[in-house]
Amino acid sequence: MPFLSLELTRKVVPVIYSAISKKFFLLSMLLFPVALFSQNLDILILRSINSPEIIPSDKFFQFVSNSGTYLVVGIPVTMGTIGLIKHDDKLLRNACVTIAAVAISAGITEVMKYSINRVRPFITYPDIIRKSAAGSPSFPSGHTSSAFSTATSLSLEYPKWYIILPSFAWASTVGYSRMDLGVHYPSDVIAGALVGAGSAWLTHYVNNKLSIKVKKKHCNCPEV
C-alpha cells in the first residue's frame, strides 16, 4: 500500500541520520587533514582542470552542474507521481528511498561544510577562475554528493547496466564540472562522492531491513 512507503521513509531518515552522521563527521575529520597534507597536489590538479580564461566547454559544464538540482529533485518526484497514478507501491517506495538518501546526504554535507569551513579555492588562489556561483564552504562538494546519492540509489534499486552507466557517468561529470568551474578542489569532489554514495547505500540497506520487519509484522500467516 502507498502509505507503507511513506511510513518507511519517516522511519528510515531519522534512523540512518543518527546512525551515520557521527561516522561521516569522524570520517571527515580524518579526510580533511589528508586533504591539507596533499594541498599542493590538490591545487596542481585543479589548475590543470580550471582554465584561466572562459572556453566553450565551460558552458557545457555549467549546464551539467546546474542539471543536478533539477534531476536530483525531478527523478524521484517523477517516480513517485507515476507510482501514485499506477498504484505501483514498489516504484513509490523507491522514490521515497531516493528522496531520503538525498536528504540525508545533503544534511551530512552541510554539517561537514560548516564544521570544517574550508575556504573555496578561488579565494585562496587568485589564479583559479570562478565560473559558477558558490557561497557555502568548500569541503565537501554538495553538488557531487547529491548527484552520487541519486545515481547510487537508482543503481541499487534498478541494477541494470543501462541505469548504472548513465547514472554514474552523469554524477562523475557533475563532480568534474565543479572543478572545471573553479569552485571545488579535487578532494572536495571525492569526499562528496563518498558521502553521497555512502548515504544512498545505507539508506537502501536500512530500508530493506525495515521492509522485512514490516512485512513480518503485518503477516497473518499461520505458524508452522
Q: What is the pLDDT of residue 224?
A: 45
pLDDT at 51 over 60: yes
pLDDT at 188 over 60: yes
Q: How confident is the model at residue 25 (pLDDT cuts 50, 70, 90)?
A: low
Give the whole-angstrom CA distance, residue 173 versus residue 122: 20
Q: How confident is the model at residue 134 (pLDDT cuts 50, 70, 90)?
A: confident
Q: What is the pLDDT of residue 110?
A: 94
pLDDT at 14 over 70: no
pLDDT > 70 in the chain, percent: 76
On whether residue 89 sits in a domain, the answer given is yes
Residue-wise pLDDT for 116-126, tens only, equals: 999 999 999 99
Selection from 8-17, 156-165, 213-222 with the highest mean pLDDT: 156-165
Query: Which of 91, 110, 140 minimizes the C-alpha distance to 17?
Result: 110
On whether residue 39 sits in a domain, the answer given is yes
Summarize the confidence of residues 201-207 as an average pLDDT: 89
On whether residue 55 sits in a domain, the answer given is no
User: What is the pTM for the complete model shown?
Assistant: 0.81
Q: What is the pLDDT of residue 4?
A: 42
On whether residue 108 sits in a domain, the answer given is yes
pLDDT at 22 over 70: no
Give the whole-angstrom CA distance, residue 26 versus residue 4: 34
pLDDT at 8 over 90: no
Summarize the confidence of residues 36-62 as an average pLDDT: 87
Q: What is the pLDDT of residue 95?
A: 93
Q: What is the pLDDT of residue 206?
A: 86
Residue-wise pLDDT for 62-99, tens only, equals: 999 999 889 999 999 999 999 999 999 889 989 999 99
Summarize the confidence of residues 132-141 as an average pLDDT: 89
Neighbour-count burial of 138, counting CB atoms closer than 10 A to its CB (0-12 exposed, 13-18 middle, 19+ buried): buried
Q: Which residue has the cell 561537514?
A: 112
Q: What is the mean pLDDT of the chain?
A: 83
Give the whole-angstrom CA distance, residue 122 versus residue 126: 6
Domain CATH for 68: 1.10.606.20
* Domain boundaries, position 161: 2-45+61-212
On whether residue 223 sits in a domain, the answer given is no
Q: What is the pLDDT of residue 145?
A: 96
Q: What is the pLDDT of residue 28?
A: 56
Sequence letter at residue 176: Y
On whether residue 56 sits in a domain, the answer given is no
Count of structural domains within the chain: 1
